[in-house]
Structure formats: structure tokens, C-alpha cells
Structure 1
């Protein structure tokens, strides 16, 4: 009885060898009879991807092609305009006038965007809608915007007309000038200070109202 109890205790503490599950391999399952309940399996914590890269919205996921290598890249492209495009290359259509039906060209391959920048000044980029060309276009647009801002502030400081009223003033000035010219042609007696000016090739002109 004691031998059986000792053997059972030793077997309970050391473990029992199970039959081979895979060829030339075995599994040992330990059995501890301490009367404790099995602990509940811990839930795997969700992996939170943290990055030091600033994004346009907290928690936003940037597309793969916006890797932060460009200046000002905050991962904002909701419509996928900067995604590398894939184009199908078609063969030439049949243009034989003697045939009853000319067939369209078949697909002969696929063309991907090339990031190579050539030294030609007129068309340095192979892809019109490529990310590199978008970057250069934004730089050009930004420089023109800065120049326009400087021009608007300069004109406002000189003339006193704000930039939002400049177009209105120009249209009104042209309107009143045209109306005065028409009235002078219809009724010349309304001219208070007649000023004659002769332009080469156009003859004498009457200025003033």
C-alpha cells in the first residue's frame, strides 16, 4: 500500500510520458496535485504602434508610399492621389482600310512609375501624376503665393485699396471710362476741358470729360 502511494506521488510530481505524437518525438505532461485551480489564461495585450513621426490626425495610419521621406509629409492622402500608378500598355490598333473590321490593340505589358528625374528642363519627370512631381508643383505654387501676397500688400500700401476690393475698383474704373467716352461721342458739348492728343497711326483723340 505504501509502495503504491509512493509510486503514485512520484508519478504525480514527476510527470507521465504520453505517447508519441510525431515521429521520433515525445511529449511530457506534468501533473501537480497541489489542489490549486488553474489560472485563467492571460489575454494578449493589443500592440500599439507608436511612432515619433507627426501625422495630420492623431492615430491616423499613413499610406505605405508616404513614408515621411519628403519634407512636409504628414501622411495625408485620403483619396490616394499620390499612390504609384500602374498603367497598361496597349498595342497599336489595326488601321487596315481593306479589312471589314479593324480590331483594337491588345494589352502587351504593364508600366510602373519611374522615380528617375532627368536633367531635361521641360519634362524632368517620367510620371505626370507622380509624388515627386506633386512635390515640385507644390513648391512652385507656394512661391507664387508668396509673391502674390507681397504684391497685394505693396499695392494696398501705395494706393490705399485693399486686395479684396482691387478687382471691383478696376471694373468700376473701366466701366466709367467707357461710359464717359460714349457720352463724349454722343454729346461733345458736355466736355468741360477738351484735351486733344494725337497717337501715331490712330489720329487725334479727345480726352477728358
Structure 2
């Protein structure tokens, strides 16, 4: 009786058909291998911090403290402070009474500074839409697309002998004199 109950518990039902459990307890064999003690790997030294001898936009220029060389393309040029970490003011809700003659604005509660760490979710990969980490990733993606487009334009020019500026002229030169293609079809359809 106990084995029948265990067998019934080990099977599952799918669309009216009983399926046996693939991980049943019958015939358990374990292999254990020992190849000696594991060697500890040397810790990797990854430097994400600022480098002291990095190239700057002008030799001898002093980079601002918020440009530490950790991002791609950081040469220390930010005269207007656009790359400075943003600090936002937090306001209380405005008075939202539609019957008042004048709605009072909310008072300042405090300040909020954005965190540099990225807290990703499946639907929002970056916690801040206008954060530097997201801009960095977008710049890498756009640069890769630009390199691929350049490669495509140059390879087609090399294979066909037609420059990329004149590709449309060559393609439609055979039908350029046809009034049916140029006038009738675009206007009437």
C-alpha cells in the first residue's frame, strides 16, 4: 500500500495522461571525483577609479572633480558643468483646491541626490532614465550601429562601384522616364 501511494505521488497528470517523474529515487548512483586540492585563483585587480596620467582635452588642463576618467570619452572637458552629479529639490504637493482664488505652491522639503548604482528590473533596465550609466550604454550601442552602417556603405560601394550618395540615382534611372511610375502611381494609389 505504501509503495502504491508513493508511486501515485511520484506521477503527475498532464492533459489526462499520467507522466512518470523523471527524477525517481530508483537506481541512485553518485560519482565523486577528487583531483587534489583546488588552487586559489589570484584576485583580479580591476581599477575603475581615476587615473592620474590620463589624456586630457588640453595638455596641462585640470579636470573637474566629477570627471574622474571612469566613463568612456572622458577627457576632462566640462566648462558648463553639464556632467556634474544632479541634485534635485523635493517639493511638497501644491494645494489642489479648485475653488480657491490662488493655489499655494508646495514648500521645499529637502534635496535628493541620484544614486550611481543601477537597480534594474525586467521592464526598466535603468533606475534613472537620464542617468550617466544609461547614456554610456546608449552611446556604445549607437556607435556600434554607426560602425556597421559605415561598413555596409563602403562594402556596397566596393562591390558595385556605385558611391553611396548615387545609389538611389542608379537604382531608379531605368524608370525615371516612365510617367506611369513617376506620376500616376504615387498620386492615384
Short-chain TM bin: 0.5 to 0.7
Partners of 1:80 and 1:91 in 2: CA distance = 28
Distance 1:183 1:146, change over 3 A: closer
Q: What secondary structure, in the 3-state scheme, does the structure 1 residue paired with 2:95 have?
A: coil
Summarize the Cα distance change of 1:175–1:76 in structure 2 as closer, same or farther, 3 Å threshold.
farther
SS of the aligned residue for 1:176 comes to coil
Residues 129-148 of structure 1 aligned to structure 2 (within 5 Å): 129-148=130-149
* TM-score (normalizing by structure 1): 0.53
What is the CA deviation profile of residues 72-115 of structure 1, one whole-angstrom value per residue up to 9, with x for unaligned ones? 42212233221111111222222212323222222222111211
8 Å contact from structure 1 (residues 90, 105) kept in 2 = yes
2:155 alignment counterpart: 154
Whole-Å separation in 1 of the counterparts to 2:181 and 2:70? 61
Contact 1:93 1:104 survives alignment (8 Å): yes
Indicate conservation of the 8 Å contact 1:115/1:126, yes or no: no
Residue 181 of structure 2 corresponds to residue 181 of structure 1:
yes
User: In 1, distance between residues paired with 2:53 and 2:59?
Assistant: 11
Instruction: List gaps (5 residues or longer) in structure 2.
Output: 1-51
TM-score where L is the length of structure 2: 0.57
Q: Residues 100-139 of structure 1: matches in 2 within 5 Å?
A: 100-139=101-140
The CA deviation string for residues 18-60 of structure 1, in whole angstroms up to 9 with x for no partner, is: xxxxxxxxxxxxxxxxxxxxxxxxxxxxxxxxx5222121011
State the aligned residue count: 134
Structure 1 residue runs without a partner (length 5+): 1-50, 186-209
CA RMSD of aligned residues (A): 3.1
Give the number of the structure whose alpha-carbon radius of gyration is greater.
1
